[in-house]
Amino acid sequence: MLHDAARLIKSEFERRARGHRLSLMQWRTLGALNLTDGLSQVALAAKVEASQMTMSDIIDRLESEGLVRRESDPADKRAKLVWITQAARPVVEEMRSIATEVYAAALAGIAPEDLDGLTNSLQQIVTNLETDDTEQKEDVA
């Protein structure tokens, strides 16, 4: 059911965002940069769960639209840092508005106490699996 709910939320967001000519991954990339600007392409790919090749393509498209810019990393000349541009700020605000509408529609009819319980349960699932993932990485090392 978690998968179904996430899939439907994603589909609804994509449907509402379609008129803005950006894919969900492009929206997620801008959102990540809005929170933490100046990320390396590798870190950005990890943050939005995309391959490095996919991230390169996404950044190419966003850069051609004037929404991001790349610069050499002063600490590593081989790496590129990605920065959000001022032109992207209104796009990010629109993205937030669409996300707010989608979440409001998804959560309509859920009592506040039930929503609190759902939120706590989902956080516990994340905590449980993040812990397991960390332990598995340590076991491999």
Cα–Cα–Cα angle for 48, 21, 84, rounded to 5 degrees: 50
The predicted pLDDT at position 32 comes to 95
Does the pLDDT at position 141 exceed 80? no
To the question of pTM greater than 0.75 for the whole model, the response is: yes
Does the pLDDT at position 134 exceed 70? no
The predicted pLDDT at position 77 comes to 81
Show the 3-state SS of the chain: CHHHHHHHHHHHHHHHHHHHCCCHHHHHHHHHHHHCCCEEHHHHHHHCCCCHHHHHHHHHHHHHCCCEEEEEECCEEEEEEEEECHHHHHHHHHHHHHHHHHHHHHHCCCCHHHHHHHHHHHHHHHHHHHHHHHHHHHHHC
What are the tens digits of pLDDT across the range 63-110? 999 999 999 988 888 888 999 999 999 999 998 999 999 999 999 999
The predicted pLDDT at position 139 comes to 54
The predicted pLDDT at position 28 comes to 92
Does the pLDDT at position 5 exceed 60? yes
Neighbouring residues of 87: CB distance < 8 A, sequence distance ≥ 6? 66, 67
The predicted pLDDT at position 23 comes to 85
